[in-house]
Structure formats: C-alpha cells, structure tokens
A and B are shown apart, each in its own frame.
Chain A
Amino acid sequence: MNEKIIVLEKITKSFFGNNALTDVDFDLNKSEIHCICGENGAGKSTLIKLLSGALLPDNGKIIIDGAVYKGLSPQQAHVLGIQVIYQESHLFPNMNIAENIFAGHEKLKRFCIIDKRTLHLEAQKILDDLGTDLNSYSIVDDLSVAQKQYVKIARALAHHPKVLIFDEPTTMFNITDANRLLNTIVELKQKGISIIYITHKLSEIIQIADRVTVLRDGYKISCHDSSLKRLTISQITNDMIGRSMELLYKREKSQIGKTVFEVKDLKVKPGGPQVSFSLRRGEILGIAGMVGAGRTEIAEAIFGVAKKYGGTFWLHGEEIRNNTPQHAIANGLCLITEDRQKTGVLLDMNINQNITITALDKIKGFLMDKNHENDLATEIVKKTNLKALDYNTDVRYLSGGNQQKVVVGKWIFRDAEIIIFDEPTRGIDINSKSEIYALMEDLLKDGKSIIMISSDMPELISISDRVLIVKGGKIVGQLEGDDINEEGIIALAL
C-alpha cells in the first residue's frame, strides 16, 4: 500500500539569511511510521512547522493527497487532517481532560450550552481506546508528564486526523513510559493513521520505524526503508554526522593553567543525579548534549538563578556560595544566556548603558560622569570589536552578533573571571561567529576561563579544549584534544 499522503518537493526555508531547510524531499505513505532524525539545528522543527501551517516555505511544493500547495495555513493543515503533538505542553492546566480534548470544538446542546455528558462520554472513549487508565474528569495540572502527553494525543485524535506528527515525545519520559508510548503509536498506525515521528533516540527509530529520513544542516541526507534493509544505529549515525567536516575556526592553543573552579555533587532537582566537574584557567570547556539534556539547568544552578538541591562550588580551592546571581557575580562568575534579546540585553537602552550596568560604581563621580562612562564603554567597544553607527542608538537596533558583543562586553567591564556561555552564537551570522570566537580567545589570554554550552557541533569541536557530554541531567563522558569529534560526542549524547 504505497499511497502517498504527503509529498514535500524541494522545500527550502531560511530565516534572516540562515538556511533552515534546503531542497528537501520527503514523503509519507498511508499507514506508515516515518521517523525523521538529525542533530540540533538539522531542520526537524522547521519541517514540522511547515506541515502544521505555522510557517510558509520559501520554495518548493507541499502535496497532500495529490493536491499541490505552495504553503499551508494552520486552518488548512487542520482541515487536511494534519495534527501535531509538540513537546511543550499546550494544555489548559486548570481544566479537566475532556475539556482539554474538545477545547474549541465542544459538544453543544441547543443554545450553545456545552453538553457535558456527551463531552465526557466521548472523551472517555478516546482515552480508553488509547489504552490509558485516565479519567476524563481529572484536572490536567494533576497529571504526570507522560499522562499529559496522552491527553495531547487524545486531543489530536478527537479531530480524526489522517496524519499525526510527534515532536520528540519521549524526551521527559522514563523507559517504561517510553515503551508504552511507542506501542501506542504502532497501534495508531495499525488503525490507519500515518505517522511522522521526530526523535534523536536512535533505539526508538530501530524499534518502530518503517522508514527513516536523516536531515543534516537543513539537507536531506538519506531515507532508509526498514522493509528493504534492516536499520542500524551506526548507519543512521553516519548519515547524521557526514564525512569529516572542515574546522569552523582554527583556534590558537592557549596556556591552560590550574583548576580555578570546581563543581562537586551538584543536584539541580531533588533526588536527581549529581554533577561534578572542574574548570582550568585559560580553557574553554564545552558542554555538549541534546536539547533537554539538562545543561542550562546546571548553568542556572551554578549562577544562582535556580535553586540547587545539593552540592558545592569551589573557587581557587575555597568554597563559595552562589545563592543568587549577585553572589555569583561577586564571586567572579557570569552567565551569558541563550536568549540575549529576552534576558541578555536592555533593548531600549543604548550601548553605553548596557555595558556599564554590571559595575556602575566604576563610573566616577557622585552623580555619574557621563563622559567617563562614555570613555569606559568605548574601551569595551574597541575590545569587542563592536561596530555600531551611533553609540546613542538603542541596542534593539543592533544585529544579533553586535548584541552578543554588548553582552560579553558588559561582563568584561565587570572583570568576570569565569564566563558561562549558553549557546554563544545562536542566531548569529557566520562572520560574527568568528568574531565572537576571537573574543573568547582574547578572554583566555587575559586569564579568564570559559564554560560553553553549545548545540553547534562544529563550534564545540573547533573551539573547546575539553568537552563534557550531558545526558539525562548527568555527565556521561568527557573528551579531550583529538578525541573531540562528532562521532565521539554523538555516541555519548544520544
């Protein structure tokens, strides 16, 4: 039965000059489970959003049941029977399961009054058919993560979909729940629903995929058919990685000194795993791992943004407390967050004001001497190679790369010793990326040390002196020197 429900032909989509997908071909047969996998940034999310109507492709065709579209709107996707189950919870926590399932298309009696009896009867039927033991009257907020996932599936099923798209559904699951979900999905396929399943867990792919398409850097690399040839993890991994890639950036070797900072037995959630590692002066310690592996949580606990449930921090051999960001900053640490627009820069203030905010006391005078402030800021601007037409413009109008330089700049101004970068070059163009790396090298020369969380494989490999791989909230491996390569990292991260 090779009836093609969905065909994507030469789909291209880019954002601000970055290609998310380039000339991608993909197709989905009726009643098949077609997995899509790839590293962070391969283009998986973009593909889903094109199918769900959240985005429009720049080029290419979307063919659904033989009808050709240049792009879909969410309503069209809905009418065509495409339902997506996203990772982030989009349920209404204070309403019950039945209300969530039928939100927006409730069963109505006369005069638009909700027919609660039918609502719950039908909701319960969907839940039972799914094989869950959930009760339609339960309040969603009280459910576990796995149970909420089933509610999302039930909600999608209530629309009688032809296609169900799952986006990394088992990220937060334990083994038992994950296996149950996989079995459920196979049952759904047998009921005639065609399924696209996005995951980076290769074992799941081996378990349920009829076919698997591998994406890398926005390109479709391969499509394997399990009925033709048995799928193997090494085969898929090879496709995800590709052949040896050129180094993104050639790093100067720096003088690496003694240990400056240590984390011992850190727990970021009660009863969670313990994390321990050390950072040496003058090194860049890369932190690799798939999205959701728990890296940002570790950084936030170190910086005092999030509460820690155990463990200690040591600076130059002495114990320190980082209970709040102020403490951490006073101890010489700083955190350059993932989302610079949201938490990194003060968008409606100018460059000078953004840079000096971390150490206003350095400005002379009882009332701030603005000329001195300008001098101090100009020093930093020169050091970070920031290019802006007018230093009076609000940071909002700077490019992503320049905004990131402002953020780094304000921590240089503060003389931070240990700099934690969370995705340092996300959303930044290639040229500015090199400038940020050069800036990092300068920091090392000045005796600073860097912890760099990154999902950008070339970045991790080119820039890091050592790489720690995080999975499930704990460190599962460490690579150093020549061992830092894509195979090594992926093998441990997945």
Chain B
Amino acid sequence: MKNKKLLNIFKNQSVFLALIIFAMILIISSINKRFLSTTNIFAILQQISVLGIATMAATMLLKSSLFDLSSSGIISLTCVMVAKFITDGMDTTLAAFIGLASSLAMGALNGIIISKTKTLPLIITLGMQYIYSGIALVLTGGVFIGLKGKFSYLGNGKILGIPVSVIVFFIVVVIVSIVLEWTRYGRRLVAIGNNPEAAYLSGIDVDKYTILNYMISGGVFGLAGLVLLSRLGSVISNVGAGYELRSIASAIVGGVSVSGGKGSVFGAFLGVILMGIISNGMNILSISSYYQDIVLGILIVVAVIISNIKNMKAN
C-alpha cells in the first residue's frame, strides 16, 4: 500500500507543477539574483493576489463542472459601483459591503437562470457578461473614476510587512480548501461535478447547490474586484476584463479538471503562482510582455494534455 502511494504522488499533477515552479525559480534566479529578493517575492504575490482570489472562485465552480464567463463583468461592475459610492461620499467600508452584496446577487442571478432554464452555463454566463459589463459602462459614462487615495488599505496596506492583499489571498485559499474538502456543502458540489444525475438520484438538490455555488463564487469574484479596486486606486468600466478566462486558465494549469473530476485547491493555487512567476520572471529577464501570452497559452495546452494523458491511457 505504501509503495503505491509514493508512485501516486509523482503522478499527481500538483507535485509535477511544484517541480516546474521550483525549476523555474532556479533558472530565473540564477540569471538574475533580484528574482529571489524578499521585495520581489512579495511583489509577485501582490501582483497575483487578485487573480488568485478570482481563481479560487473559478475553482469552486469547476469542481461542480461549472464555470462563469461573466466573472469579469461581476468584477468590473462591483469595482465601478463601489468606486461611485466612495466618490459620492459613502463610507468606504459600507460601500465595500454593498459591493460584495451585489456581487453575491449577480452570481445568484446567474445560478438561478442556469438551473431553472437548464441551459448551458456557457451561453448564459456569456450573455450575463455583456449585461454586467454594459451596466458598468453606463455607470462610468465611459470615464475613469479616481478614488483620490481612499480605500487604499486593502490593496496597498501591510500587516507586519506582509501586503494585506496577499493575506486576503491566502485566507481565501485556506477557506475554499476547507469548504471543498471538509464541509458537506463542498462534498455535494464535488458529487455534482462528478455525476450530476447520480448526485440527483442520491437526494442532492442539484438546482439549489448550483445556485449557491454561483452565488458564493460571485461573492469571491466580487472580493477580488475590491482588492483590485483598492490596488489601482481608480477604475475604468472594463477593469475586470480578462479575469474570466485567466482565472479558469490558472485553475486548469493547476490540474483542476473542467469536467469536475480531479483537481485540488492547492493545485489551483500553484497554477496561480506559476502564472505570477512567469509574468514577473519575464519582466525581470526583460522579455517583452507581448510574449507572455504565448507562453501562457502553451502552458495551458500542455497542462490540459498532461491531465488528459491519464484519460487517454485509461481508454
């Protein structure tokens, strides 16, 4: 039994990923010593904190074989709403809570439409994406909104030298881990992702948990938006653009399966780290950021192929 477990560890995508990260760190830091400095490490973590939180939300959905292409819209609209409230004089904390509440509502709306109409998430969330980002555009009037220094703590503050945004990121990772692995709610989500029909016949209210999943993920996307808003100190209407795909991509690179089977939160976390290392590393090595997209794309395709090799062999 023990030997089997050892072999299985190596087949585990997370370990594989950790090795790649380790290798990249070695390579890049040998070319440029600045890479491993404390300042840079925190910089990397801070840079990926927003993506990281969004990826956790995407992971919760993926574990149920779901995804939300409107997450960039949720992020944008949350940011825009909170920015407007703050510049109109509202207390920043209150504004943040209202922003969170609305992101929960946006997620819930997605979930309700998808489960009650039994339509593919792809189509519904694609449509909702246009609606949410459209509303954000209307609210900004196409103009950028600056916070003039307010609401800066979340994105730029530090506790004991560690950026608050990084602390929030890590807390979200831990909570999502616990939820998926140790709560009955998470167990039901995973069962639904595994086999929705068997889950339904076992007594799980698939509709209810789908709605809850979209709602809670929506809230986490909203949280990512708050951190983003705080870091930027200003907002334009499409500030969240790209996060819907990048969050899914990070999770996939981390070994989370699109069909709801395999994949862990830790893997997704590593996926985000890898994304961060690549973009930061490429900057440090003075490689043009235009190449980053190509590298990221290759990563994603390779990651999916690797996680599918097991499938190909099984057949």
Contact = CB atoms under 8 A, between A and B. Distances in A.
Contact of A368 (B4, B183, B198, B201): B183
B182 A346 contact: no
Interface string A346-379: 1111000100011011010001101000000000
B197 A342 contact: yes
Counting contact residues on chain B (CB < 8 A from A), the size range is 20 to 34
B201 A343 contact: yes
A344 interface: yes
Contacts of A347: 194-195
B198 A343 contact: yes
Contacts of B261: 348
B203 A329 contact: yes
A344 B182 CA distance: 23
A361 B195 CA distance: 21
A180 to B, nearest CB: 38
B98 interface: no
B200 A367 contact: no
B178 A367 contact: yes
Counting contact residues on chain A (CB < 8 A from B), the size range is 20 to 34
Interface string B156-196: 00000000000000000000001000111001101100110
Nearest to A411: B202
B200 A357 contact: no
A303 B299 CA distance: 47
Contact of B203 (A326, A342, A367, A390): A326
B6 interface: no
B21 interface: no
Contacts of B202: 325, 357-358, 410
Given A348-B262, A367-B182, A367-B183, A325 B200 contact: yes
Given A346-B194, A346-B198, A353 B187 contact: yes
A347 B257 CA distance: 15
A344 B198 contact: yes
B187 A337 contact: no
Contacts of A349: 190-191, 194
A358 B194 contact: no
A345 interface: yes
A333 to B, nearest CB: 11
A28 interface: no
Q: Which of B4, B194, B203, B205 has the most CB of A within 10 A?
A: B203
Interface string B204-225: 1100000000000000000000
A305 interface: yes
A357 B201 contact: no
Nearest to A366: B183
Contacts of A370: 182
A64 interface: no
A335 interface: yes
A345 B187 CA distance: 14
Contacts of B188: 357, 360
A329 B205 CA distance: 12
Nearest to B184: A360
Contacts of A335: 201
A305 to B, nearest CB: 7
Nearest to A340: B198
B1 interface: yes
Contacts of A342: 195, 197-198
